[in-house]
Amino acid sequence: MNFELGTEQQEVKARAAEFADREVAPYAAELDRDDRIPFETLEKLSEMGFMGLCVPEEYGGAGSDFLSYCLLIEEISRTDAGIGVTLAVHTSAGTLPIVIYGSEDQKARWVPDLARGTRIGSFALTEPEAGSDAAAIQTTAGRVDGGYRLSGHKQWLTNGRIAGAAIVFACAPEGVTAFIVPTDAEGVSFGKHARKMGVISATTDDMHLENVFVPEEDRLGEEGNGLSVALGTLDFGRIGIAAQALGIAEAAFRYASNYAAERTTFGKPIAEHQAIAFKLADMQTKIRAARLLVHEAAWMKDRGMRVTEAGARAKLYASQVANEVTYEAVQVLGGYGYMKDHPVERYYRDARVTEIYEGTSEIQRLVISRGILKEMTGPPGGVEGSRPVVG
């Protein structure tokens, strides 16, 4: 067993950390305050090859592994969680489904621009009446000569209006189906930009589709296979959100521990009061435990293993840790933690959504518990020792 990152992974982490500290951190508070989209940072991310880091080189990406991608998301989110999720949704929900489920023709036509960042990707599953219950979507895809006509209302798309392409899920005659839809297609429009509690530098928009023509060749996978595409994508997409949560937690821990070493009360640094010292110990321990789950899930993905439960465990725990750690970071700073002069109140707001998008914590528990049940009731002779003894 080896806990060390490989040479390439260490290089990606170092490059990402240096970039995040130089190009992302200085603007994070301003973007959060002004609710502004960071186009210039996205361009710089493209120049660094970060918009297609784990996309194969043959389709214009950097060809790094999924663990490297998670290291990148963690480092960017450590400085600006909104840019972290912009990058995560673009890569794992907007680009990788085409790499994984697309035809050679689709990969050749769509992926290189996405991997280079000249086109941003998005993922349009949620609707006003369908979030956790994805099968309840109502957007329709009627068959017409040469393709389909899509109509419906998609809600809260990360990257919505800045994306050049969206993976849209709609009900076709054979069932839910995935489509690649250019956002400049006739009939596509975007509603009001959502005003949020956190991850403010990420744009979140509603998308309206009115009789939008999508040619047959832009159907992603078989007709009726859309839910498999959506759930398969979320299986690994969640690992990226777990990495985002980890980045937020790490930022809060670093800030709070530095502060605790400097702030004095009753004649000594607050870090020397046991109540604060123990908070820091718990924060660090939880972050390290969460990181192990994230790296394990990414490691499994890189080996082509099933990550449904591992990804859910990583997201469930890392998002919980992000919320606990940011809560405690505010507490360590006392009144200063509540003020906009320090970034911990932003981390606290940013952490909240990691327990909601790409599947709420309740849905992660559902996924994990179903996996346990399957192990218990599945055929004997599965993984030795993992089969719980019942009765």
User: What distance in Å separates the CA atoms of residue 365 and residue 39, rounded to the nearest whole number?
Assistant: 36
Q: How many helices (H) and strands (E) does the chain have?
A: 12, 10
Q: Choose between 40 and 362: whose C-beta lies nearer to ligand FAD.
A: 362
Q: Which of these ranges, 37-45, 48-56, 131-139, 338-346, lies near ligand FAD under the rule CB under 6 A?
A: 131-139
The residue type found at 241 is I
Nearest distance, CB of residue 7 and ligand FAD, angstroms: 34
40 catalytically annotated: no
Nearest distance, CB of residue 335 and ligand FAD, angstroms: 29
Strand partners, 172: 175
Nearest to 9 by CA among 70, 68, 64, 77: 68
Residue bearing tokens 């979140």: 204
Segment 6 to 45, residues that bind ligand FAD, using CB under 6 A: none
158 lies in the site for ligand FAD, by CB under 6 A:
yes
Residues 149/195, Cβ–Cβ less than 8 Å: no
Q: Choose between 55 and 199: whose C-beta lies nearer to ligand FAD.
A: 199
Q: Choose between 17 and 356: whose C-beta lies nearer to ligand FAD.
A: 356
Size of the site for ligand FAD (CB under 6 A): 24
Residues 364/309, Cβ–Cβ less than 8 Å: no
196 lies in the site for ligand FAD, by CB under 6 A:
yes
89 lies in the site for ligand FAD, by CB under 6 A:
yes
244 lies in the site for ligand FAD, by CB under 6 A:
no
Q: Choose between 92 and 257: whose C-beta lies nearer to ligand FAD.
A: 92
Q: Which of these ranges, 171-179, 196-204, 294-302, 377-385, lies near ligand FAD under the rule CB under 6 A?
A: 196-204
Instruction: Rule CB under 6 A: choose which of 8, 30, 40, 362 binds ligand FAD.
Output: 362
Residue 265 sits at φ, ψ, to 5 deg, of -140, 150
326 lies in the site for ligand FAD, by CB under 6 A:
no
157 lies in the site for ligand FAD, by CB under 6 A:
yes
Residue bearing tokens 């959100």: 241
Q: Which of 223, 296, 358, 384 is catalytic?
A: 358
138 lies in the site for ligand FAD, by CB under 6 A:
no
Burial 157-189 (b: 16+ CB within 10 A, else e): bbbbbbbbbbbbbbbbeeebbbbbbebeeeebe
Nearest distance, CB of residue 189 and ligand FAD, angstroms: 17
Q: Choose between 93 and 280: whose C-beta lies nearer to ligand FAD.
A: 93
User: What distance in Å separates the CA atoms of residue 256 and residue 160, rounded to the nearest whole number?
Assistant: 34
126 lies in the site for ligand FAD, by CB under 6 A:
yes
Segment 199 to 228, residues that bind ligand FAD, using CB under 6 A: 199, 204
Pairing of strands 121-124, 165-172: parallel
The residue type found at 312 is A
179 lies in the site for ligand FAD, by CB under 6 A:
no
Nearest distance, CB of residue 130 and ligand FAD, angstroms: 7
Nearest to 120 by CA among 159, 93, 83: 159
Q: Choose between 158 and 225: whose C-beta lies nearer to ligand FAD.
A: 158
If 0-12 CB within 10 Å is exposed, 13-18 middle and 19+ buried, where does residue 375 land?
Answer: middle
Residue 377 CA from chain centroid, whole number: 32
Q: What's the alpha-carbon Rg for the chain, to the nearest Å? A: 21
Active-site residue numbers? 358
Residues that bind ligand FAD in the complex, under the rule CB under 6 A: 89, 122-126, 131-133, 156-158, 196, 199, 204, 353, 356-360, 362-363, 366
